[in-house]
């Protein structure tokens, strides 16, 4: 059975509201740190494994120049390293440095602790149900987006 228009409209509203709240929580949580929310997002994707900068830009949904600035900032901070792609001398591969691995671990630990505090009145079952539903929603949206814009969204394994 298809989702009713009113329900779909309510979901859109709630998704945008969730995005806004998550951005506010993230910004407040990491205010004053050298790696802002945008750089932390890049760091997380780089942390999934060495890859081409163009692939990272596509996954993050940003332009190559924007990603290049983020990578340069992270490289200056000592969190990422770049090297020439051995299969294509024109391309660069980006990976976390040992300091980047440590920083990413600290960021993820801090985010986990913060979320645990914010959800202190939730049951384990509620949290697991929410994670399952959000995963299902994300996968449905990714599949639909891939069907209409072949290959512009890639799946992330978490």
Whether the model pTM is above 0.75: no
pLDDT of 33 reads 64
Instruction: Reply yes or no on whether the pLDDT at 158 is more than 70.
Output: no
3-state helix/strand/coil string of the chain:
CCCCHHHHHHHHHHHHHHHHHHHHHHHHHCCCCCCCHHHHHHHHHHCCCCEEHHHHHHHHCCCHHHHHHHHHHHHHCCCEEEEEECCEEEEEEEEECHHHHHHHHHHHHHHHHHHHHHCCCCCHHHHHHHHHHHHHHHHHHHHHHHHHCCCCCCCCCC
With a cut of 80, say whether residue 60 has pLDDT above it: yes
117 closest CA partner among 7, 28, 40: 28
pLDDT tens for each residue of 73-123: 999 999 999 998 888 888 889 999 999 999 999 888 888 888 899 999 999
Question: Cα 95 to the chain's mean position, in Å?
Answer: 16
Reported as a pLDDT band with limits 50, 70 and 90, residue 146 is low
Band the pLDDT of 132: cuts 50, 70, 90: very high
Question: In the predicted model, what is the mean pLDDT of residues 2-17?
Answer: 94
Task: Name which CATH class applies to 34-146.
Answer: mainly alpha
CA–CA dist 115, 58 (Å, integer): 28
User: In whole angstroms, how far apart are CA 89 and each of 16, 22, 32, 75, 157?
Assistant: 41, 39, 38, 20, 28
Listed by start position, the domains of the chain span: 34-146
């Amino acid at each position: 059975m298809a989702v009713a228009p009113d329900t779909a409209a309510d979901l859109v509203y709630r998704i945008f509201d969730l995005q806004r709240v998550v951005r506010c929580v993230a910004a407040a949580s990491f205010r004053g740190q050298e790696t802002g929310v945008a750089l932390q997002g890049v760091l997380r994707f780089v942390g999934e494994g060495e890859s081409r900068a163009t692939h990272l830009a596509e996954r993050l949904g940003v332009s190559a120049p924007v990603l290049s600035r983020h990578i340069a900032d992270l490289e200056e901070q000592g969190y990422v390293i770049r090297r020439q792609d051995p299969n294509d001398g024109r391309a660069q591969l980006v990976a976390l440095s040992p300091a980047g691995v440590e920083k990413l671990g600290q960021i993820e630990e801090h985010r986990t602790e913060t979320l645990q505090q914010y959800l202190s009145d939730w049951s384990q079952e509620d949290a697991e149900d929410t994670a399952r539903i959000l995963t299902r929603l994300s996968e449905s949206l990714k599949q639909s987006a891939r069907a209409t814009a072949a290959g512009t969204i890639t799946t992330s394994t978490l």
